[in-house]
Amino acid sequence: MELKINGEIRNVDVEDNMPLLWVLRDELNMTGTKYGCGVSACGACTVQIDGVATRTCTLPASAAVGKEIKTIEGVAEAGQLSAIQKAWIEHQVPQCGYCQSGMIMAAEALLDSNPNPTDEDIDKSMTNICRCGTYQRIRSAIHTAAKWRAEETTLQG
């Protein structure tokens, strides 16, 4: 099947029902997206599909055909970190770091749809598990990134 990942067309020969996660990790060796639970409960495997944060450990790869798949590897553009990635560094968010690809993909989708989220908005859309408990710093980093993105927009406008 043909998948469009981070703007590139990739052809893979897999069963229709193979979860997208395992196409990414084991067929394409794109290991930034993580396996955590296999039942869409933890969010470590989150990518964006047509801009929507989506858990891929239960999503059949065939369901992503014809759509824009964006993974953590596609977030930095031309080596330039996104505002969210920079904010993650600014707030020193990651500890073990294993959940952070999924967290960042969820946060990117949140800010794309809601440029200035409240704490309640963050509670509602950031539902992934971080076993190291970095939630507080993730919240702060999202607010910082929202501010930076607004400033960028103002400058460009």
Q: Which is nearer to other proteins, 68 or 97 (CB)?
A: 97
Q: Are 14 and 61 in contact (CB under 8 A)?
A: yes
Number of Cβ atoms within 10 Å of the Cβ of 8? 9
Tokens representing 112 are: 């794309």
**55 contacts other proteins (rule: CB under 8 A):** no
**44 contacts other proteins (rule: CB under 8 A):** yes
**121 contacts other proteins (rule: CB under 8 A):** no
Candidates 46, 54, 56, 100: give the one binding other proteins (CB under 8 A).
100
Q: Is 109 helix (H, G, I), strand (E, B) or coil?
A: helix
Spatial CA neighbour of 104 closest among 153, 48, 57: 48
Q: Which is nearer to other proteins, 51 or 57 (CB)?
A: 57
**136 contacts other proteins (rule: CB under 8 A):** yes
Q: Is 21 helix (H, G, I), strand (E, B) or coil?
A: helix
**29 contacts other proteins (rule: CB under 8 A):** yes
CB of 150 to other proteins, least distance (A): 20
Ramachandran bin of 46, using left for φ above 0, alpha for ψ from -120 to 50, beta for the remaining angles: beta
Q: Are 88 and 140 in contact (CB under 8 A)?
A: no
Q: Is 6 helix (H, G, I), strand (E, B) or coil?
A: coil
Q: Which is nearer to other proteins, 75 or 109 (CB)?
A: 75
Candidates 46, 48, 54, 134: give the one binding other proteins (CB under 8 A).
134
Residues that bind other proteins (CB under 8 A): 14-15, 18-19, 21-22, 25-27, 29, 31-39, 41-42, 44, 71-73, 75-76, 81, 85, 88-89, 92-101, 104, 122-124, 126-139
